[in-house]
Structure 1
Amino acid sequence: MSKLPDLEALAIFAKVAETQSFSGAADALALSKATVSKAVSRLEQRLGTTLLHRTSRRFSLTDSGRSLAARAAQMVAEAEAAEGEALDQAVTPRGLVRLAAPMSFGMAYVAPALPEFLARHPDVSVDLHLSDATVDLVGEGFDCALRIASLPDSSMTARRLRPVQRHLVASPGYLEQRGRPTHPDDLARHACLGYAYLPSGEAWRLVHEESGQEAVVRPVGPLRANNADALTAALCAGLGLAVQPDFIYWRDVAEGRLETVMTDWALPPISLHLVAPGGGPRPARVTALMDYLAKRFSTPLWPGQG
């Protein structure tokens, strides 16, 4: 006997027992009478017992057949209920969605956006995972993620929501004391604060917007962190300069605590993306959250965005 039960034959047998007829079961299941008969015979052979007696005039279940018919009918009912629940969830948003997002962006924008979504969909819950590290959506069981990057080709499906600008920033006090760099070569004489998850790794890759000249700088300074927000206090205190995204630095620049420098040198473009594993249709709860986030984050989120 194989490890898995013959579920198809059990379901067919349950319908035969219910209708008291091979023909009735065949009509109810949209199968041929021969298919129904073979399924019952296969089940009897597998179990090594007779399940029903049938002649041209009479049809009756054996003791074993009556016992099995009751269990099989229960099994079919539970399977239909499970299938119905799954189909319902595919249409009506219901259940848990696991969402990953970068730490700073998640705290500033994703977390504040979720109450409105949850109020709209009271049968949906969200497990929000915040980390600047790139999570393995499939391996770690996430339904979708927000990523700020230049995404490589992959098996993931991705929606580009908004560009994210990055600039070198420093405090006015630091620039007054150490001077304002105008060329990547000048950065060798400056304290450069590092971010662990730059798309370019340890290096800053810069391109002059007019000439197209490229430069690579390996930052050296008193602080390196795996979260860009963690550099803000040191920047405002005048400990160095750093590459920061606009959604982190815009308020400090607007209020005079930081300034952008070397604005004619650009870092490789990155964007805010909404990504999900590729493959078949998604549950309604995942589609609902992704559509909500896409609409919410496709509009300007901080001053200076187009």
Structure 2
Amino acid sequence: MSRKFDHLGDVETFITVVEKGSMTMAAIALATTPSVLSRAITRLEARLGVQLLRRTTRRLSLTEQGRLYLEQSRAAFALIEDAERAIQGPGDELRGSVRLSAPTTYAHHRLPALMQRFCAQHPQVRIELNITNRNVDLVAEGYDLAIRMGNLPDSGLVARKLEDAAMCLIAAPGYLARAGAPQGIADLGRHSCLPFVMPSTGRVSPWILREDGRDVDWVPHGGLQVSDDVLGVVTLAQNGLGICQTYDFIAQDLIGQGRAVEMLKQARGRSRPFSVIYAPHRRLSSASRALIDSLIESTSK
């Protein structure tokens, strides 16, 4: 009598191939060869009677059946992991891995401090951190969690707010020595402002300000603008090329080091939210749930 689930090794191979993005990278992770993994995927597809992956010489992509099978398979493995944790008892260390995607602003300037407590408490949890300004597809690309900025559209994803990050305007001391400091929002039009072009819309991101108790969305215009990586405007500003708007958690160190000066403090008071998101139909692993709780607890202090 054959075992009912003797194909679980092939299922784990399928999950790993999707998460790593290629047979080659998955083979490195599993200490085997791409040809072995390719045969495992073929076996699994034959068993199920459906195509899970579209394979070309350049890329892999999930079919609709493959996307559904990936979601359910990852949920099943998470259940097994939880069952093991339950019988091991609370005295054992939390183990597992979490795939997390975060934007450059948060990953470089906020996340390291937030992660310190979690990593110290759970040294056996492996975190695969992807740093990108692209909104990854959590399911198709195999991510457990992602950190997103802004008010999120109704995408069907679950969002847990981390914080409302305050914004400010900064420039280098050298720039202010040359151009002077603006005294009000109206003065900004006479300065070298550093716009950021949002990848999702191709439009310049407005600066969010306050004036006389009113919210003001002011669109900067300048001869030098940045796209893709919003940290570029900060780099340009601290090198004396103009004024930018950024988060307090980025500006604080620069101001403390004397590399930037905050201006128009009377126009501050607005913020942008950051949230951690995940797919609602995916059963989160114990490690993922613990990381969410740790991030929320850290940002609430």
Q: Same fold (TM over 0.5)?
A: yes
SS of 1:250's partner is helix
Cα distance in 2, alignment partners of residues 251 and 217 from structure 1:
26
Distance change (3 Å), C-alpha of 1:170 and 1:84: closer
Cα distance in 2, alignment partners of residues 185 and 274 from structure 1:
36
Verify the 8 A CA contact 1:252 1:258 in the aligned structure 2: yes
Aligned twin of 2:45: none
Distance change (3 Å), C-alpha of 1:84 and 1:129: closer
* Aligned-pair CA distance for 1:190: 1.7
Aligned twin of 1:88: 83
Verify the 8 A CA contact 1:196 1:227 in the aligned structure 2: no
Q: TM-score by structure 2 length?
A: 0.61
Verify the 8 A CA contact 1:187 1:217 in the aligned structure 2: no
Verify the 8 A CA contact 2:169 2:264 in the aligned structure 1: yes
Q: Equivalent residues in 2 for 1:22-61 (5 A)?
A: none
* Aligned-pair CA distance for 1:253: 1.7
Cα distance in 2, alignment partners of residues 161 and 84 from structure 1:
26
For 2:80, the aligned partner's letter is E
SS of 2:275's partner is strand
* Residue 122 (structure 2) pairs with residue 127 (structure 1): no
For 1:88, the aligned partner's letter is A
* Residue 224 (structure 2) pairs with residue 229 (structure 1): no
* Aligned-pair CA distance for 1:256: 3.0
Cα distance in 2, alignment partners of residues 86 and 158 from structure 1:
24
Verify the 8 A CA contact 2:95 2:287 in the aligned structure 1: yes
Verify the 8 A CA contact 2:195 2:220 in the aligned structure 1: no
* Aligned-pair CA distance for 1:98: 0.5
* Aligned-pair CA distance for 1:232: 3.3
Cα distance in 2, alignment partners of residues 182 and 253 from structure 1:
19
Distance change (3 Å), C-alpha of 1:136 and 1:89: farther
Cα distance in 2, alignment partners of residues 84 and 224 from structure 1:
44
Deviations 1:54-108 (A, max 9, x none): xxxxxxxxxxxxxxxxxxxxxxxxxxxx898345257474432111112232133
Aligned twin of 2:107: 106
Deviations 1:243-279 (A, max 9, x none): 1111111112233322222233348531232222223
Distance change (3 Å), C-alpha of 1:255 and 1:121: closer
Distance change (3 Å), C-alpha of 1:101 and 1:168: same
Deviations 1:172-196 (A, max 9, x none): 3212322322344433322112334
Verify the 8 A CA contact 1:184 1:215 in the aligned structure 2: no
* Aligned-pair CA distance for 1:120: 3.4
Distance change (3 Å), C-alpha of 1:214 and 1:118: closer
Aligned twin of 2:23: none
Q: Equivalent residues in 2 for 1:151-230 (5 A)?
A: 151-197=152-198, 201-212=203-214, 214-230=216-232
Verify the 8 A CA contact 2:210 2:270 in the aligned structure 1: no
For 1:126, the aligned partner's letter is I
Q: How many residues align?
A: 222
Matched-pair identity in %: 27
Distance change (3 Å), C-alpha of 1:211 and 1:287: closer
Cα distance in 1, alignment partners of residues 211 and 294 from structure 2:
35
Deviations 1:111-144 (A, max 9, x none): 4554653453354321110112322222322111
Unaligned runs of 5+ residues in structure 1 are: 8-81, 300-306
Aligned twin of 2:98: 97
For 2:229, the aligned partner's letter is N
Aligned twin of 2:39: none
* Residue 258 (structure 2) pairs with residue 256 (structure 1): yes
Verify the 8 A CA contact 1:184 1:217 in the aligned structure 2: no
Moved more, 274-283 or 107-116: 107-116
Aligned twin of 2:64: none
* Aligned-pair CA distance for 1:231: 3.2
Cα distance in 2, alignment partners of residues 173 and 120 from structure 1:
44
For 1:191, the aligned partner's letter is S
SS of 1:151's partner is coil
Unaligned runs of 5+ residues in structure 2 are: 5-76, 89-93
